[in-house]
Amino acid sequence: MSGARGADPLSAAAGAVARPYDVEAVRRDFPILHQTVHGHPLVYLDNAATTHKPEQVLKALDDFYTGDNANIHRGVHELSQRATASYEAAREKIRGFLNAGAAREVLFVRGTTEAINLVAHSFAGPRLNEGDEILLTGMEHHSNIVPWQMVCEAKKAKLRVVPVNDRGELILEEYERLLGPKTRLVSAVHLSNALGTINPVKEMIGMAHRRGVPVMLDGAQAAARIPLDVRDLDCDFYAFSGHKLYGPTGIGVLYGKAEHLEAMPPYMGGGDMISSVTFEKTLYNKIPNKFEAGTPHVAGVIGLAAAVDYLEELSVAAVAAHEDDLLARATRAVAGIPGLRIVGTAQCKAGILSFVMEGIHPHDLGTVLDQQGIAVRAGHHCTQPLMERFGIPATARASFALYNTAGEVDTLVEGLSRVREVFA
């Protein structure tokens, strides 16, 4: 079963579909899709790695650089005033997208990786003592493992890992058991980049909070696929990247509860994050500026806001329903291919289909598909411990986006049949 979001409490919060979903009209907004690769129309199914950008985002970037380019904050001239206004309007836009309580709870960072490092070093680090524990799940991306290893090593703390079952689902009973008196923080992926599993994060947060344990969520894959409400989730931190949400690369968001951000020391020092500096002492700025040292990626922030506008105009719920249909179609079709095994069959999943084919390395599979114009990802997907859990070095992964079509799913299935023929 795929795309079974009915069990996900967040889906219940999805807003009404704004208008009928017209995928062909959507595709006209993405100029990069209209090309051939190796003589075949491009079928781009590597959206979990990065998504393409609609013309509305490209225009926002162009408009900034051709009309308003200037550094933000403190500038008294017109261009700086306009750039600052657009930058802070984008922060308010993201606040609304997340349903955060205040814009000051929204920090701009380079991406999910930087957001997790910020929390690891500024929030967890000062609070950890020898023997304390950080709790992760067995399906984390390396970016939600390595930062915690670094801070645990420095503080002589320990990582504990919640196992997953053979379907690629978190074992909730084990999660509850591992939430112990030494647990200082939970950091968990919302939607697995390797399997597509949607974790029951609201339930997980409730269990952690009843023990006084704060929770961070890695929303890199979820933000473009699941309607978000950080206040309803009651998460302490939430991170996502712009480029996986149809926005520019090099920009991302960290949401944090104001009480945490105000208590945390800065992650980096430099301009804009201070209120005054002498050689003897520096007084830090208020949040969110305290965590945004140096000149930020102004154009990226503005482009990200345009991407959020685009996604919200379509409605995240409508996009999710469209991707669920594609995933269900693909899951049914590939099940009939001899020697193909789906890795990750969680009851609640979205957008991502990982698989292996008997006797064919995923890299070879991906190369043959590429020759047919079909772009998929092959590898461990930065989840080596998860691959080890399933006893495989890698998978091939098709990941869907708002511009993919049922016809492209059929092309993938035909391409996989060709792969079988090549390696027969």
* Closest of 424, 414, 422 to residue 367, by C-alpha: 422
Residue 115's Cβ-side half-sphere holds a number of Cα atoms within 13 Å equal to 28
Gyration radius of the chain over CA positions:
22
C-beta separation of 102 from 231 below 8 A: no
What is the C-alpha separation between 410 and 399, in angstroms, rounded? 14
Which residue of the set 152, 235, 348, 382 is catalytic? 382
* Closest of 197, 208, 196 to residue 235, by C-alpha: 208
> What size, in residues, is the chain?
424
Residue carrying the six token digits 């945390």: 264
203-to-75, 116, 144, 220, 393 alpha-carbon distances in Å: 46, 21, 20, 20, 32
What is the C-alpha separation between 190 and 262, in angstroms, rounded? 25
What is the C-alpha separation between 272 and 288, in angstroms, rounded? 10
What is the C-alpha separation between 343 and 167, in angstroms, rounded? 8
Q: Is 29 helix (H, G, I), strand (E, B) or coil?
A: coil
* Closest of 151, 102, 100 to residue 122, by C-alpha: 151
What is the C-alpha separation between 158 and 217, in angstroms, rounded? 19
348 is catalytic: no
Residue carrying the six token digits 């062909």: 24
| 241 φ, ψ (degrees, to nearest 5) | -110, 145
Q: 288 preceded by cis ω (within 30°)?
A: yes
Write out the catalytic residue numbers: 382
